[in-house]
Amino acid sequence: MHFNLFLGVILICFTPLFAEVPNDLSFFEDKPRSIAKDYYIYRYLQKNSTTSSEAWKLLEMSQHMSLKLFHAFASRIDDPNFKKTSKCLKMKLGELLKQDDECLAIGFDLYDATKLNTKTLKSIEKRLYTRNKQKYHKYLYGKPCYCP
């Protein structure tokens, strides 16, 4: 028991020594897609010197997009859709209800639904239904929907 605790403390203390932040993109090119590579991509995105073009290249190299990694990409990529999605995902419920339908559709989840009364849920249902109806109509019929 004490040995496991001691080993855990040693690993926590010395991990930063072994997990240095890569200096440039060439570090990632020969590595296979993996969770370990995603970790190093995340660390690289934390650097202040990471540019938007580097972030786009790293996005293509990642294996799994966790929320933490997505927010790191959104902070570096100069794309308003990434930034809006990241912002909407981070919002608390009260703030989210005041936003537009698109942001509500991005950030609202089932856990949030359990915190609301029936009247509020009905109004949110109408907002989400209209939003999804317009979105899918465009894909199905090739033209925008002017739905109520």
Q: Give tens-digit pLDDT for 94-119.
A: 999 999 988 888 888 888 888 989 89
39 or 130, which is more confident: 39
Is 117 in the same domain as 84? no
Is 71 in the same domain as 102? no
Is 76 in the same domain as 140? no
Is 69 in the same domain as 100? no
pLDDT of residue 105: 86
- Integer angstrom CA distances of residue 119 from 79, 102, 110, 124, 146: 36, 20, 16, 9, 26
Dist CA 133 CA 97 (whole Å): 19
Residue 19 belongs to domain spanning: 1-90
- Tell me which of 75, 90, 105 is where a domain ends: 90
- Integer angstrom CA distances of residue 36 from 42, 43, 80: 10, 11, 28
Chain-wide mean pLDDT for the chain?
80
* Residue 108 near residue 85 (C-beta atoms within 8 A): no
Is 79 in the same domain as 15? yes
Dist CA 59 CA 115 (whole Å): 35
71 pLDDT more than 60: yes
Burial category of 72 from C-beta neighbours within 10 Å (exposed 0-12, middle 13-18, buried 19 and up): buried
- Tell me which of 66, 90, 114 is where a domain ends: 90
Is 72 in the same domain as 143? no
- Integer angstrom CA distances of residue 4 from 8, 9, 11, 19, 128: 6, 9, 10, 22, 50
* The total number of structural domains that make up the chain: 2
Tokens standing for 105? 């559709």
Is 85 in the same domain as 97? no
Q: Taking each helix axis as running N to C, give the angle between helix 35-45 and helix 52-61, from 0 to 180 degrees, rounded to the nearest 10.
A: 170
Tokens standing for 129? 């239904």
